[in-house]
Chain A
Amino acid sequence: MEVKVEGGDEFANASYSRICQNVFREVGLHSNVDNVYLYCDPSEHVFVISVKIGRVPRPITVNDMTLRGDNRLKITDEKYAPKLLALLWDRFDDRVKQLSRLEITVDVEAKEMEELMKMVVYEPLADLNIRILDAVDRILPEGARVRYPLPSPGRVTIIASENPVSEEWKEKVEEMVTELEKGGQ
């Protein structure tokens, strides 16, 4: 993930570059975002953040997070365990039994079991936007509560300020985004 911060003084740019890197790492999006561009104008109190979405991991299936032994499943990645259990209870109801923290039995036939192994437990794309917006919210200064989103494909751009966002800024940011797209950022 590349981060570019402009507009502020040397210290502010360097510190916000570090904040961007840390926040995206904290929310687990470090490898799903190609570029982050942050423009700060503290004198007018306008902040622009533009996030270019990169490669999104493929959906996690039951096969990816469990080891199968006949009708028994052993969870190998506990992070997805609540989602898996919710999914199985919803589909197979009381035929699902949790034997221990990481062991589950599903009372189904072999064919059905094979279908079960292909079921999607977690789709990273589904909550990607929410996670990006969470990261953006953590990065932008708290006082900049007036937000104006600029939609464009594969990119999240937000203008934030404590004052109403003027047309002049909207146009300026649109040009900024076009330049970023041209430059491949």
Chain B
Amino acid sequence: MYKIMMFSGGVYKFNELKELTQDIGGFILQEMVMQMETMLHLAFPAEEEKVIRNKVKEIGGKLIELPLAGAEIMIVVPSLGRHHAVNPMCDVAEFLRRKGAITNMMGLSRGVGKRIAQMTVEEKRIIEECDAAVFIFGNFRECIEDKARLCEGLEIPYIIAGGPPELDIPHYVGNIGRRTERMKRKHEIESLEKMAEALRTELDVRRREIEEDPLATSPLFLKELIDMTIPPKPGEEFSTIIHLDGLRVKLEPGEEKIIRDIEIQNRKLSEICEIRKSLYEGYLLKILPEAETGSVF
């Protein structure tokens, strides 16, 4: 089981940290050097945390927990109008990114109103491509209770965020409703913390399910392999996005075949993954469980 953390510190000996991470079987997921500051997202085996902590202590810097790392989360609002954007939609997305998640934002085509609110099958499929979803509905209790029906059929973990502090509907987090100013006060940050915690709990259930029925290979390992075969284009960020049970890979036309033929031990990638074109962006690789593919290594 890999643990994903963020290192934040100076450039002094930070290459040693990178080498150590790779030596103990870990991965560098993101790297950003800004003059004298560095930021690294590290994934390493959970049991090796002490080794990493000791190294960070030696070179000076901070290790920050990223509870939502390795998950792509969709923020869904009833529309992309100014009633929902930029606040609170971007506040929520920014906060989740700080917790390590990759976020996408989506406005429903016919999501506004109470009785007339609906979600199309295609929108539902796009949302289900991600690991989890956060729905931000408004401030009226009656509307939120009614609109909760939109999320019922979803096959991924989700959170419903709304204004009223308490509501008797499943997966509900309060105090994040319609607003016209940025969420920056202490009690607002606490509400966002509560939402991130609720999301982590939902994702942990999925993570446990995957642990019980392990995947043929880790998405982190696969990302490294794909990045080696098709190096990210200059200036391109997040060409490969990690999911809990797979990857989203942004490919140029014709590169799909190269991906399918990547060899892992004696197997091809297409034998251990379901590869399909995403309705949203790139290609989705869903890694099959080891029980289905047999041992790869």
Contact = CB atoms under 8 A, between A and B. Distances in A.
Contacts of A40: 140
A12 B141 contact: yes
Interface string A138-163: 10011111000000000000000011
B113 A142 contact: yes
B78 to A, nearest CB: 7
A22 interface: yes
B124 interface: no
Contacts of A162: 113-116
B82 interface: yes
Nearest to B113: A143
A100 interface: no
Contacts of B97: none
A12 B117 contact: no
A42 interface: yes
A142 B140 contact: no
Q: Would you call the interface of chain B mostly helix, strand, loop, or mixed?
A: loop
Interface string B163-196: 1110000000000011111000000000000000
Interface residues of B, number: 26
B115 A163 contact: yes
A55 B82 CA distance: 28
A36 B180 CA distance: 17
Contacts of B139: 8, 11-12, 15-16
A45 interface: yes
Given A9-B141, A9-B164, A12-B163, A143 B117 contact: yes
Contacts of A11: 139, 141, 163-165
A142 B114 CA distance: 10
Given A11-B165, A142-B78, A162-B114, A23 B143 contact: no
Contacts of A166: none
Given A8-B140, A19-B180, A22-B181, A138 B164 contact: no
Given A12-B140, A19-B178, A142-B83, A42 B164 contact: no
Contacts of B179: 15, 18-19
B113 A45 contact: yes
B143 A42 contact: yes
Nearest to A47: B140
B251 interface: no
A45 B141 CA distance: 12
Given A9-B164, A12-B140, A15-B139, A142 B112 contact: yes
Contacts of B143: 42, 45, 141
A53 B165 CA distance: 34
Interface of A: 8-9, 11-12, 15-16, 18-19, 22-23, 26, 40, 42-43, 45, 138, 141-145, 162-163
Given A26-B180, A45-B143, 16 more contacts: A11-B163, A12-B139, A15-B163, A15-B177, A15-B178, A16-B139, A42-B114, A43-B142, A45-B114, A141-B113, A141-B143, A142-B78, A142-B83, A143-B78, A143-B114, A144-B113
Interface of B: 78-79, 81-84, 112-117, 138-143, 163-165, 177-181
19 contacts: A8-B139, A11-B139, A11-B163, A15-B139, A18-B179, A19-B180, A42-B140, A45-B113, A45-B143, A141-B138, A141-B143, A142-B79, A142-B112, A142-B113, A143-B116, A144-B113, A162-B113, A162-B114, A162-B116
